[in-house]
Amino acid sequence: MIELKDVTHAYGDRPVLRGISLRLEERRIGLIGANGSGKSTLARLLNGLIVPDSGQVLVDDLDTRKQARAVRRKVGFVFSNADSQIIMPTVAEDVAIGLRDRGLPKEEAATLVAEILARYGLGDHHDHQAHLLSGGQKQMLALAAVLVTQPEILVCDEPTTLLDRRNVRIVVDTLRSLPQQVILLTHQLETLADFDRVLVVSEGRVAFDGPPAEAVDRYIELIDSEVVPAR
């Protein structure tokens, strides 16, 4: 279970998260909010990619500030920009690197990699250059490379933004069927319809916390109430 205790974060002198306290226990949690509202910053706090300026983030009682390595093993993170997640030259190597600490026999690791690539529609790209995949294929690769490590919790920052309809369905169905806890950031609000809980982030605070339909209504209200600056 992830717990945030009065967390604040600023970039330089710009406050981005302002006193957030949460217990994230539900299996499917969505995070929505305007561009720049602080969602990605909040997501990055959950696996210790960012540590809070004040307050604490605990993952099963591990403090992200002190036990970042252990936290990262539990919490997998899928970035919205898949390019920043690709670290190896070929598709298969990029997935295999996540298994390197497992001490699996080579053949077993290779079988796991081939299986997961096939499941995510990348079977034909096994030995291709990862950076030459299409944008959507890179997002599928990023997801496969994280899932192969079997994290207990998965944080996904807009994993479907670049995907075509078919791949959106594959990713969303995958996230639904995973036994792990999933925390999903998205602007595709319909994706969250059957989630257990949705948080609406606004100007670095949680403006709403509850069922998806109400969260979406609240989000739309918030956006529509803003005065759009005249050109």
Ligand X SMILES: Nc1ncnc2c1ncn2[C@@H]1O[C@H](COP(=O)(O)OP(=O)(O)OP(=O)(O)O)[C@@H](O)[C@H]1O
Question: Least distance in Å: CB of 9 to ligand X?
Answer: 9
Does 35 interact with ligand X (rule: CB under 6 A)? yes
Among 38, 52, 55, 98, binds ligand X (CB under 6 A): 38
Does 174 interact with Mg ion (rule: CB under 5 A)? no
Q: Name residues contacting ligand X, limited to 86-115 (CB under 6 A).
A: none
C-alpha separations of 205 from 99, 161, 177, 227 in Å: 37, 24, 30, 19
CA angle, residues 156, 140, 39, in degrees to nearest 5: 20
Could you write out the DSSP letters of every residue in 99-147? Answer: GGGGT--HHHHHHHHHHHHHHTT-GGGTTSBGGGS-HHHHHHHHHHHHH
Dihedral pair phi/psi, residue 156, rounded to 5°: -120, 120
For ligand X, which stretch binds (CB under 6 A), given 31-39, 94-102, 147-155, 163-171? 31-39
Site string for Mg ion, 18-47 (x = CB under 5 A): ---------------------xx-------
CA distance 39 to 132: 29
Residue nearer to ligand X on the CB measure, 38 or 52: 38
Number of residues that bind ligand X (CB under 6 A): 10
Q: Name residues contacting ligand X, limited to 39-78 (CB under 6 A).
A: 39-41
- Residue ranges in contact with Mg ion by CB under 5 A: 39-40
- Residue ranges in contact with ligand X by CB under 6 A: 11, 16, 33, 35-41
